[in-house]
Structure 1
């Protein structure tokens, strides 16, 4: 017979008394009456989950609460004199996120979010609901670089102008935090590098037309500056027809929706390395990635990694279906542009000690003799001879249009890897390519004489160290190609000017007649703004069909390299123009930030997909 101690007997009696005294609703905490419901509800459906996928802190999901939700609409109540964000939500988005996706919250603010929906329960009973939620979103947080030049973790903006027609605009701004010490611990492509030499912390945000941040990316869960395969510079953003964003960084190319949900996040295919600049969602359903080849045998027998001179075409499943190896298509030894560049500002390789210096033929020959390869301006395979910074697909003839900064040329190349035309100064091209150079004409079709990098007609100029050569799909056809480009302007006329402040940049639109082999300049902006608007590197010009407008981002103005020192932080201009106008409808300054690119973001595409 077992002996029961006094202490055990007392515990048993106490437990029995507690059970008999407890209300039956205790069983709801996971007991027989059902699963526990421990969250606080504000409205008539489920709980609010903020930052649901960890990378978009100014988003939230209002859970469905077990109901079927249809006819969903969302409105973020603006601050006084603020910009309103409102959108319809497809049923597919409700199913994907398990509730109502909320986008566009103000940071460090208690937001009022108005939602309406039809709620259907298990009995089939429908109820139309209109209600408001209070959702606090925390302050913006991103990485710092430890310098006094960084004064905030995200953009400080000044709205100079925003016409009423553009008050609903949202702009995705893709900027960079330069020189964080964590990002300089890995050098790729020894002894000096490719994309991992570029390891700048991302500053990606969406601002409204009043300059307020309404979304930003906290990249910490998908990005690591100290990792070869998870670091780099985030570039090449596009919003696809499904509303999701694609971009790349270092050795990765990715796709996420605006709520932060991962669609894919992939390593580059094994034969390639060093993504930067351009990720084009082609109309044929594939992706065009500007990369480099990681093992190429030169004619002299040396094996090298190439630099910014390969376009890889990847299908949605991640299989490479084609590539364009540009040293096999163009002349990697054309040096007339390379020798005219300011070596202090070669894209993001900013070297104050080299400001104003150029390369000579002897310098280029010495590089080859010394077997000096890597991300350096030079000629030949294994050096930065092409520096392609954009790729765009032309579905009318299954070809690509590239912008080659270090050739100061926009070039169309077919699927057969043959050059169709070259929009750039005719100087320095060997015979195989010289016949492909487009002939400039005025508005009446009369030829314009150009030689030694200069044109006699002031209504036309070539682009110089340009960025973003984009086809205007809605205005182009099989014969005529309308193109936008940002003409940065370094090495204009194949020379450095007597004074640095004589440099200027332009946003420009061209019309190419592919049958006649001619090019006409239709529009430009920037020359009249002079050096104050000059961006030595980066930037974008892009047509926007919804407002028949030209979006321009002069991303690095006021950044100067003088006598071995960087003077002045960039203060980018974000501008939008009605077609044909040289007066901006929108002008927003991004103060004290290293700009790369910017573009409109369309919230209706993100949540309400075209059928």
Structure 2
């Protein structure tokens, strides 16, 4: 049945985005297309122009932003061309879209398919925002059944479904991913954890999971879906896109011969640079570049909360020198905290390419360090506690200074005043538009586990921060210019995951405290319910958020503003 004056409506045209549709062109040429999804009462309007190249790509009008489990009214305007005849047409369509749905993990904490949202504050200039949420489900009985052999090690068992959705500032879901056609929890090469989402300059999304890295547009059209190059395994956390079309993948080595002669798969400690065709053009082997036996941070980590491996039985437990030594002499390798290649000694959770000096900036959770490394594989600087760094790395440690450039008195555990290093941090990103030459602005999410090289007397004393630093790369100094979160205390504490990232379009700082707000049992130091993350956006330099939402019932990984203009208009 054709509703309007062109072709039929095709719902979910590429199988992975059920809240999208294409109104086929019906054999006509179309131009000058505008789409509006009529909002619910007090809802957010989604309206956009469609670039002609997408009319040709999709064979019709792309529709984005349908409400789930709802009969949507979609208003379209377009120019219809047949031969020499041209008509300007304005009409509306009715489209029912299905409920948002994600597979259940079968755990007692789950209460719904996705989540609910409490919109606390949205300033007028942010009303048009759309936010992509990259959340995770619990580990499922369908996954986590397989480990690597020949050689052993790696993190293949780190394997659970994610819940990806786009929300508006009214708290409504306007897009979600049904990954079933591209993801199989029971498969070695089509499972993993979907992470590292970035919106590319062309508007499409790139990310990775397990043994794959991919790129799709927002309608669900595949641009590429590739196996990792054979030299690597276990993508997770971060995939950065460069202006030349290259991607920087946080992976691990699929076969590394340790100095003791043992062959292992490594864990979260390699960055591979691939070109547009998937050819590896360079790699950063961090077990060769850094010191994989620096263990001062590992001894202070809460073993109950190592990234998304939250284990209540290990809560509050830390590793001793003896534990680490015994581990390294053993043949126990894989996704476990421990020193040396073949174990989770680095836990790199972000990589950011800096084209200014052809370097990468990494965040190493298990070193509590943000590190810049050149193309020559030499460390340029280290932002973090100086504790445990031997030569030549100790010469690269940045010196904290105040706003007048005066050195701040520091010890290994911290500094005087408001300055603090990041502890078990995530997402160390250069702010390109504010950086120039040797002056580099950097955003990070300071999770705060092991803060000050210790576990606090009470779990309720832990807190996280969103932080901005100004780094003088020539003089090797660092100034903390903004932070948020310390004043929120433990209710805002995210033991793992999360993101802080500058947004050029609104001169703002986006924050997702992604595992905050869960019910917490202090006796065992573990979540007894799913977390309730906080999503915030701040005008540059301000201490109170312009946007604040709380996402109830979600184990968050990261999130980001999503530009519909980039995706369908430009």
* TM-score bucket of the superposed structures, by smaller chain: over 0.9
Gaps of 5+ in 2: none
Give 1:221's aligned residue. Answer: 181
Give 2:94's aligned residue. Answer: 134
Deviations 1:427-448 (A, max 9, x none): 1100110000000000111101
* Residue 460, structure 1, aligned to residue 424, structure 2: no
Distance in 1 separating the partners of 2:236 and 2:90: 46
State the shift of 1:561 in Å.
Answer: 5.9
Q: Is the 8 A contact 1:508 1:541 kept in 2?
A: yes
Q: Which of residues 428, 444, 447 is equivalent to 1:469?
A: 428
Q: Is the 8 A contact 2:448 2:495 kept in 1?
A: yes
State the shift of 1:190 in Å.
Answer: 8.5
Give 1:513's aligned residue. Answer: 472
Distance in 1 separating the partners of 2:297 and 2:41: 51
* Residue 337, structure 1, aligned to residue 290, structure 2: no
Give 2:17's aligned residue. Answer: 56
Q: Is the 8 A contact 1:472 1:481 kept in 2?
A: yes
Distance in 2 separating the partners of 1:220 and 1:568: 27
Q: Which of residues 552, 555, 562 is equivalent to 2:514?
A: 555
Q: Is the 8 A contact 1:283 1:393 kept in 2?
A: no
Give 1:3's aligned residue. Answer: none
Give 1:371's aligned residue. Answer: 331
Distance in 2 separating the partners of 1:209 and 1:588: 8
Q: Which of residues 498, 504, 507 is equivalent to 2:457?
A: 498
Distance in 1 separating the partners of 2:514 and 2:149: 28
Give 2:316's aligned residue. Answer: 356
Give 2:550's aligned residue. Answer: 589
Deviates more, 1:367-376 or 1:264-273: 367-376
Q: Equivalent residue of 1:181, what SS?
A: coil
Distance in 2 separating the partners of 1:108 and 1:192: 46
Q: Equivalent residue of 2:397, what SS?
A: coil
Give 1:419's aligned residue. Answer: 379
State the shift of 1:192 in Å.
Answer: 8.0
Q: Equivalent residue of 2:392, what SS?
A: helix
Q: Is the 8 A contact 1:352 1:561 kept in 2?
A: no
Q: Is the 8 A contact 2:459 2:522 kept in 1?
A: no
Q: Which of residues 94, 108, 132 is equivalent to 2:55?
A: 94
State the shift of 1:163 in Å.
Answer: 1.1
Equivalent runs, 1:473-484 vs 2, <5 Å? 473-484=432-443
State the shift of 1:72 in Å.
Answer: 0.9
Give 1:83's aligned residue. Answer: 44
Q: Which of residues 265, 289, 295 is equivalent to 1:305?
A: 265
Give 1:601's aligned residue. Answer: 562
Deviations 1:238-273 (A, max 9, x none): 000110000000000000000000001010000000
Give 2:254's aligned residue. Answer: 294
State the shift of 1:185 in Å.
Answer: 2.2
State the shift of 1:126 in Å.
Answer: 1.1
Give 1:183's aligned residue. Answer: 143
Deviates more, 1:597-606 or 1:473-482: 473-482
Distance in 2 separating the partners of 1:146 and 1:347: 21
Q: Is the 8 A contact 1:558 1:568 kept in 2?
A: no
Give 1:26's aligned residue. Answer: none
Q: Is the 8 A contact 1:509 1:522 kept in 2?
A: yes
Deviates more, 1:40-49 or 1:368-377: 368-377
Size of the alignment, in residue pairs? 568
Q: Is the 8 A contact 2:151 2:264 kept in 1?
A: no
* Residue 523, structure 1, aligned to residue 482, structure 2: yes
Give 1:315's aligned residue. Answer: 275
State the shift of 1:194 in Å.
Answer: 3.8
State the shift of 1:283 in Å.
Answer: 2.4
* Residue 120, structure 1, aligned to residue 120, structure 2: no
Gaps of 5+ in 1: 1-39
Q: Is the 8 A contact 1:352 1:562 kept in 2?
A: no
Give 1:486's aligned residue. Answer: 445
Quickly say closer, same or farther: Cα 1:195–1:44, change in 2 above 3 A.
Answer: farther
Q: Is the 8 A contact 2:151 2:265 kept in 1?
A: no
Distance in 1 separating the partners of 2:27 and 2:423: 58
State the shift of 1:193 in Å.
Answer: 5.6
Q: Equivalent residue of 2:95, what SS?
A: strand
Q: Is the 8 A contact 1:119 1:129 kept in 2?
A: yes
Q: Equivalent residue of 1:150, what SS?
A: coil
Q: Is the 8 A contact 2:501 2:509 kept in 1?
A: yes
State the shift of 1:179 in Å.
Answer: 2.0
Distance in 2 separating the partners of 1:106 and 1:194: 40
Q: Is the 8 A contact 1:397 1:478 kept in 2?
A: no
Give 2:190's aligned residue. Answer: 230
Q: Equivalent residue of 1:184, what SS?
A: coil
Q: Which of residues 516, 536, 541 is equivalent to 1:580?
A: 541
Quickly say closer, same or farther: Cα 1:600–1:266, change in 2 above 3 A.
Answer: same
Q: Is the 8 A contact 1:355 1:563 kept in 2?
A: no
* Residue 271, structure 1, aligned to residue 244, structure 2: no
Distance in 2 separating the partners of 1:595 and 1:193: 26
Quickly say closer, same or farther: Cα 1:574–1:358, change in 2 above 3 A.
Answer: same
Quickly say closer, same or farther: Cα 1:256–1:383, change in 2 above 3 A.
Answer: same
Distance in 1 separating the partners of 2:220 and 2:120: 31
Q: Is the 8 A contact 2:35 2:77 kept in 1?
A: yes
